[in-house]
């Protein structure tokens, strides 16, 4: 069952194309992420869904009903703003009650639902405070409570974690997932942070210059990137440009690199290997010199300068590594761990 159906939506501002015909299907109850660098059109799409922008063309339906025909205040969709947009002249409780009062619900019901949602986000004690007296994390919870108390069919979140410091981020990340499970609302989150998208979402649509590059589950997106952009943008990657050959990819200046080729020999391709798939040891196809070793506790990152390649090859290893800066090493990987991407 499809919940939110976006068909061929486009939007330009002057001669800047923000969206060039985007089509997406977001399922009921899904945690969906729109991921991309700034200026890729993801925020424009979010604002179209909320009703603050109109597309130049295309259709958006929610369970079959035309969403674009409704003004923002009549859509069964709520947006959590990046800046939170809390009303500074109202208390936390009034902020949360604002949307319910617009539905002309009885006072007792409004009070009960405000109380319940504040309990859910753990802000019962702050109900009487003004937003300027709250911490960043608390403000975000209020914004979230204010949006979900309306029980929208779709909750839109604009860079929900970007304004928080690292520790609070991790907390809110868990909180968002828990809430989404609890309330069962479809969440659509916009973010430029691939880690945020990967950890939160069931599925991710990667945007580039107003187009969708790939839509997949985080693990698939990471392990099987479909385009050069996705391979580069989502997580760290080692990319080699070459042509498909027998049992590998022929990279000019380096030679044949291992991979399970399933394309016709001679086709120009991009070979991508994740740093954690690269092994340091004997018998590898690549040889180089260690440029830098960084120890992060659980993992170590090793940069290896390889002749014939402009940037270093990144290697991630478990725990501490024995290699040191300046030592010559040999690099290799299992053929099945490399990904081929059509150019």
Partner 1 sequence: MRESRLLHVPFWATFVFLYAPIVVLVVYSFNAGDSPFSFEGFTFRWYGELAGNADIRTGLVNTLVVAAGSTVLSTVLGTLLAVGLARHTRSRLLDAVGLLPAVLPDLVLAIGLLVFYSAIKITLGLHSVLLAHTVFGMAFVAAVVRTRLAHADTSLEEASRDLGAGPLTTFARITLPQLAPGIAAGALLAFTLSVDEFVIAFFTAAPTEPTLPIVIYSMVRFGVTPEINALATLLLAVSFTVVIVAQRMTRLTESFS
**Given the rule CB under 8 A, which residues bind partner 1?**
50-52, 71-74, 78-79, 81, 83, 85-89, 98-99, 102-103, 130, 132, 146-147, 150
- 93: tokens are 């409780």
Q: Of 4 and 257, which CB lies nearer to partner 1 in the complex structure?
A: 4
Residue 209 exposure: Cα atoms within 13 Å on the Cβ side: 2
Q: Of 188 and 251, which CB lies nearer to partner 1 in the complex structure?
A: 188
Burial class (CB in 10 A: 0-12, 13-18, 19+), 169: buried
Min separation Cβ 144 and partner 1, Å: 13
Q: Of 48 and 273, which CB lies nearer to partner 1 in the complex structure?
A: 48
Min separation Cβ 303 and partner 1, Å: 42
Min separation Cβ 150 and partner 1, Å: 7
Q: Of 126 and 250, which CB lies nearer to partner 1 in the complex structure?
A: 126
DSSP letters for 133-184:
GS-HHHHHHHHHHHHHTT--SEEEEESTTTTS-HHHHHHHHHHHHHHHHHH-
Burial 126-164 (b: 16+ CB within 10 A, else e): bbeebbeebeebbbbbbbbbbbbbbbbbbbbbbbbbeeb
Q: Of 84 and 229, which CB lies nearer to partner 1 in the complex structure?
A: 84
- Collapsing DSSP to helix, strand or coil, 97 comes out as helix
Q: Of 99 and 288, which CB lies nearer to partner 1 in the complex structure?
A: 99
Min separation Cβ 24 and partner 1, Å: 21
Min separation Cβ 223 and partner 1, Å: 37
Among 23, 33, 44, 86, residue whose Cα is nearest residue 217: 33
Min separation Cβ 330 and partner 1, Å: 55
Q: Of 18 and 155, which CB lies nearer to partner 1 in the complex structure?
A: 155
Within 10 angstroms of residue 261's Cβ, the number of other Cβ atoms is: 19
Phi, psi of 200 (to 5 degrees): -95, -45
Q: Kindly tell me the sign of the dihedral angle through the C-alpha atoms of 185, 191, 197, 202.
A: positive
Min separation Cβ 133 and partner 1, Å: 10
Within 10 angstroms of residue 172's Cβ, the number of other Cβ atoms is: 19
Element holding 46 (H helix, E strand)? helix 42-50
Q: Of 81 and 193, which CB lies nearer to partner 1 in the complex structure?
A: 81
Q: Of 7 and 81, which CB lies nearer to partner 1 in the complex structure?
A: 81
Strands (E) across the chain are located at: 2-13, 16-27, 31-35, 57-62, 65-66, 77-80, 154-158, 186-191, 203-208, 211-216, 238-245, 248-251, 255-258, 268-273, 279-280, 286-295, 299-306, 313-318, 328-332, 339-342
Min separation Cβ 118 and partner 1, Å: 16
Min separation Cβ 129 and partner 1, Å: 13
């Amino acid at each position: 069952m499809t919940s939110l159906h976006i068909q061929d939506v486009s939007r330009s501002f002057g001669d800047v194309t923000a969206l060039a015909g985007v089509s997406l299907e977001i399922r009921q109850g899904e945690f969906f992420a729109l991921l991309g660098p700034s200026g890729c059109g993801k925020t424009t799409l979010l604002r179209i869904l909320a009703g603050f922008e109109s597309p130049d063309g295309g259709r958006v339906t929610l369970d079959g009903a035309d969403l674009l025909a409704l003004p923002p205040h009549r859509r069964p969709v709520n947006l959590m703003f990046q800046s939170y947009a809390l009303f500074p002249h109202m208390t936390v409780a009034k902020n949360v009650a604002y949307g319910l009062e617009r539905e002309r619900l009885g006072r007792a019901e409004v009070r009960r639902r405000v109380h319940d949602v504040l309990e859910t986000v753990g802000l019962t004690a702050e109900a009487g405070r003004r937003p300027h007296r709250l911490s960043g994390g608390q403000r975000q919870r209020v914004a979230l409570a204010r949006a979900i108390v309306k029980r929208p069919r779709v909750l839109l979140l604009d860079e929900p974690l970007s304004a928080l410091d690292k520790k609070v981020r991790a907390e809110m990340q868990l909180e968002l997932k828990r809430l989404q499970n609890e309330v069962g609302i479809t969440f659509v989150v916009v973010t430029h942070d691939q880690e945020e998208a990967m950890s939160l979402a069931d599925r991710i649509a990667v945007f580039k210059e107003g187009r969708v590059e790939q839509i997949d589950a985080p693990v698939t997106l990471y392990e099987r990137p479909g385009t050069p952009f996705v391979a580069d943008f989502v997580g760290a990657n080692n990319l080699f440009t070459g042509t498909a050959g027998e049992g590998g990819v022929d990279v000019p200046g380096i030679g044949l690199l291992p991979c399970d080729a399933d394309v016709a020999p001679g086709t120009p391709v991009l070979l991508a290997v994740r740093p954690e798939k690269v092994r340091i040891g004997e018998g590898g196809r690549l040889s180089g010199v260690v440029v830098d070793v960084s120890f992060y506790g659980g993992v170590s990152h090793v940069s290896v300068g390889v002749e014939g390649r402009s940037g270093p090859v990144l290697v991630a290893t478990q725990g501490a590594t024995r290699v040191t800066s300046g030592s010559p090493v040999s690099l290799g990987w299992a053929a099945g761990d490399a990904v081929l991407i059509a150019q």
